[in-house]
Structures are given as C-alpha cells and as structure tokens.
C-alpha cells in the first residue's frame, strides 16, 4: 500500500513538473485537482439533479438560454478564427506540426486560444445543468455526459502539455461545428414556433460525424509517419475519437433511421 501511494505521489509530481511552463501559470492548468473537482461536482449534479427537480416545476430560462447560446456562438467564432489565422500566419503544416514552445507572438497566440478552447469545455458543462433544470432528462444521455466529461480532461492535458501543433486541428474543427450547434440551440430556445423551422438538426449530427472522421484521419496519419508531435497524444486522440464515432453513429441510428422505420 505504501509503495502504491509513493508511486501515486511520484506520478502526481511528474504531472505537475512536466507541463508547458508558458501555460502552467494560467487558470486551472498547473494541477489536475481543480479539473477533477469540477468533474466530480458535475457528476454529483448529473446523479442528484433529476431527483431534486422531481418535486419542482421545470425552469423556463428562455432569456438566459438565448444569451448563453448566443455567447457560445460568439466564443466559437472567436476560437475558430484564432485557430485558423494563427496556424495560417505561422505557416503550419496541416499534416504534421510540432508544438511551438517558444515565447514568440504566434506561439503564445496559439497557446492562448488552446486555453480558451479548454475553458470553453468547462463552460459547456452548463449544457447538462440547463437540461436538468428544465427537466429535459432524456437529453442527459451517456453520450452527452461522456462527451462533456472526457473533453474536459482531454483539453486540460492538451493545454498542459501540447498547446498547439497537431492539437490545433481538433480545436479548430470543433469550434467550427459548435458555431452551428449553439446557433441551433439558441434558435430552438425561442420556442415551438421557431423549432418548427429547425429542419437541419439531422445534418448537424452528420456534420459532427464528419468532424470526428476528419480528426481520426488527421491523428492516425502521423502514427505511420515521422512527426515531432508526440505519438502518445496522437494515439490517445485516435482511440478516443473512434469511441465518439461509434457513440454518435448509434445516436444517429436510433434518432433518425429507427424512428423513420417506425413511422413507416
């Protein structure tokens, strides 16, 4: 037991000491403990929230939802622009790009947008809380919780160790998709009259799937080529993204194909 505890301590100090010194001083980056606390609190809310809300009326939150989703659209536009322009100005190789760990203007600019992308994953945990407060518990699926929780840890590790390089491609694509996702949520929050015009939800899911396939190809490509970006991160991304493809395909089948068959 003492040996195990000693190993755990050594591993924890290794985590602390081997991060990017540029991003370590930034909020929530240096230690994994704040992120673990946020994730634990999130799981407690997911587990207890629906039970607490059982005896309460669902909250409408219409004005808040419009402002929240519009804000997320603007944040996604900002991040997509920063990922795209910084990679372009820095002459990124879109097939193989090591991390620029220097204090250069473009190196720091890329690191900063990676931090914003990570922090956006903290903000996005509100999606789940808002579903619970409105008693839309059917939306709080395993896929929803798994995706939100894992992205939080994935991008903490990204900002801690590889804020830029190949990782930018994931943030750029995801920010692009989230522009349309939060635009959809914002319009849907306006009420049933607007919801009847939102015929493109299915295509939003298809866009998400295309995103995952592109990321899988981009990450796995460098496992078979010489690239100075760490293979461990590319391998982790490749495995993780395959799990999302499987889960989203399952969601697509049950939400669109199976329902259509039943309707017929």
Q: Is 147 a catalytic residue?
A: yes
Residue with tokens 């603007």: 74
Active-site residue, from 147, 148, 178, 218:
147
Q: Report the chain's C-alpha Rg in angstroms.
A: 20
Conformation bin of residue 164: beta by default, left when phi > 0, alpha when psi is -120 to 50? left
CA atoms of 27 and 212, how far apart (whole Å): 28
Catalytic residue numbers, as ranges: 147
């Amino acid at each position: 037991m003492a040996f195990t505890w000693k190993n755990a301590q050594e591993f924890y100090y290794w985590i602390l000491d081997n991060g990017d010194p540029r991003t370590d001083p930034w909020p929530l980056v240096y230690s994994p403990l704040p992120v673990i606390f946020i994730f634990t609190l999130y799981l407690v809310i997911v587990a207890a929230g629906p039970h607490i809300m059982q005896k309460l009326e669902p909250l409408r939150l219409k004005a808040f939802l419009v402002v929240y989703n519009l804000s997320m659209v603007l944040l996604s536009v900002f991040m997509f622009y920063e990922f795209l322009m910084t990679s372009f100005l820095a002459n990124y190789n879109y097939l193989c790009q090591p991390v620029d760990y220097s204090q250069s203007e473009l190196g720091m600019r890329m690191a900063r947008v990676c931090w914003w992308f990570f922090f956006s994953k903290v903000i996005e945990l509100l999606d789940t809380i808002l579903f619970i407060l409105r008693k839309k518990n059917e939306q709080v699926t395993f896929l929803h919780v798994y995706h939100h929780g894992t992205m939080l840890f994935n991008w903490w590790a990204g900002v801690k160790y590889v804020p830029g390089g190949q990782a930018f491609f994931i943030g750029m694509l995801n920010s692009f998709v989230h522009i349309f996702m939060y635009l959809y949520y914002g319009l849907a929050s306006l009420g049933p009259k607007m919801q009847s015009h939102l015929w493109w939800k299915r295509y939003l899911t298809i866009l998400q799937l295309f995103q995952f396939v592109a990321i899988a190809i981009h990450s796995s490509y460098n496992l078979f080529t010489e690239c100075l970006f760490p293979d461990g991160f590319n391998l982790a991304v490749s495995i993780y993204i395959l799990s999302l493809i499987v889960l989203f395909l399952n969601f697509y089948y049950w939400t669109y194909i199976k329902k259509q068959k039943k309707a017929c």
